[in-house]
Amino acid sequence: MSHRVLALCLLLTFILFVFSCGQKGKEEGKDLLKVGLVFDVGGKGDKSFNDAAYRGVCQAADEFPMEFVEFEPGEDADRESGLRKLARGGYDLVIGVGFLFTDAITKVARDFPDVHFACVDYDLKPGLEIPPNLVALKFREEEGSFLVGALAAMKSRTKTVGFIGGMDIPLIHKFEAGYRYGVQLEDPQVRVLVNYAGATGKAFDDPVKGKELALSQFNKGADVIFQAAGTTGLGVKEAALEKGGLVIWVDSNGNYLAPGTILTSMIKKVDVAVYETISSVVQKQFQGGVREFGLREDGVGYVVDEHNVNLVTEPMIQRLEQLKTRVIEGQIMVPSH
């Protein structure tokens, strides 16, 4: 089978035309902005990272005349082939969700200078020049993780909390570093147990491993665990339900998934970044380079809603808001590694 035929088969296998999010353009008979969204490991339905990106596209589709396709690579699928097919297919904006797209999307963006590209969690490698038609959407995850770490320390009765990461990489180390710093600043007596699910992309899509690691941490005395692990985190939730512990969700607001068990969610507003990128193309104001989102930009944070209001007290919220203000004003510098 030729490379061209293989790439076409991959595209036909994995692309899904989405009609659930706004058909405004077709209803009004206007020219459509064409957007291609390529998911990260775990895909749509992960209740976390990928779903956040999907919400951003849906929000844009409800507001702007556009249509989009989603592409969900299999475990061994060629990401570059998918990106190239979308670029050749007349798509105005192609979005890669996750750092694993960095090399492929950089290469494809150089080959298609008239197409706009965006990469969530783009890996800024030394010496790697970002093409002018590519925007790297970056987050200061450590700042949001810092706040939920402080909350974990406030909430812990055993003086032991846990962190479970997906893939053992610098990006997830940022979550761990911020979390550790928040715990230790709030209560130096609290220890932090740390485990990672693996060293490949599969580590973000292994609920069985997540549950195994979480049960181990609960058995060692942890009563709150922060997971930054994609769908692997679903296993962490199951362990918490089984052991009566608490979990901190990540990326999207997952408080509703297990009220009384999910302490809070460290949200990473990928949806906002994706929506604003699409809007910039619509408004013809797209700019390549790096865009960064932290507490100052309201790009990360924590959530208190009807599902966890009984777990997070008003004094806890006041303390978290004080810490947030100190980070924004530069009085606290949260480490990223």
pLDDT digits (tens, 9 = 90+) for 176-211: 999 999 999 999 999 999 999 999 989 999 999 999
pLDDT of 294 > 90? The answer is yes
Q: Could you say which DSSP state residue 130 is in?
A: P
Residue 134 CB contacts under 8 Å (≥ 6 apart), including other chains: 105, 106, 109, 116, 117, 118, 119, 122, 288
The answer to whether residues 198 and 229 touch, using CB atoms and an 8 Å cutoff, is no
What are the DSSP calls for 265-329, one per residue?
EEEE-HHHHHHHHHHHHHTT----EEEEE-TTTT-EEE---TTTTTTS-HHHHHHHHHHHHHHHT
Instruction: State residue 71's pLDDT score.
Output: 81
3-139+270-293 matches 141-268+304-328 in fold: yes
If you average pLDDT over residues 270-288, what whole number do you get? 96
Fold of 3-139+270-293: Rossmann fold (3.40.50)
Question: What Rg, from alpha-carbon coordinates, does the chain have?
Answer: 20
Instruction: State residue 72's pLDDT score.
Output: 77
The mean pLDDT of the chain is: 90
Instruction: State residue 22's pLDDT score.
Output: 56
**How many whole angstroms separate alpha carbon 97 and alpha carbon 275?**
13
Phi, psi of 245 (to 5 degrees): -95, -175
Instruction: State residue 266's pLDDT score.
Output: 97
Q: In this structure, which amino acid lies at residue 79?
A: R
Instruction: State residue 10's pLDDT score.
Output: 39
Question: What are the boundaries of each domain within the chain?
Answer: 3-139+270-293, 141-268+304-328
Pairing between β-strand 300-302 and β-strand 262-268 as defined by DSSP bridges: antiparallel
What global pTM score does this model have?
Answer: 0.86
The residues that bridge with 248 in the sheet, in sequence order, are 226, 264
Instruction: State residue 284's pLDDT score.
Output: 95
The answer to whether residues 33 and 92 touch, using CB atoms and an 8 Å cutoff, is yes
CATH architecture of 141-268+304-328: 3-Layer(aba) Sandwich (3.40)
What are the DSSP calls for 229-282, one per residue?
-TTHHHHHHHHHHHHT-EEEEEES--GGGSTTTEEEEEEE-HHHHHHHHHHHHH
Instruction: State residue 320's pLDDT score.
Output: 98
Q: Percentage of the chain with pLDDT > 70?
A: 90
Instruction: Check residues 200 and 14 and name the one with the higher pLDDT.
Output: 200
How does residue 4 score in pLDDT terms, banded at 50, 70 and 90? very low
**How many whole angstroms separate alpha carbon 297 and alpha carbon 95?**
21
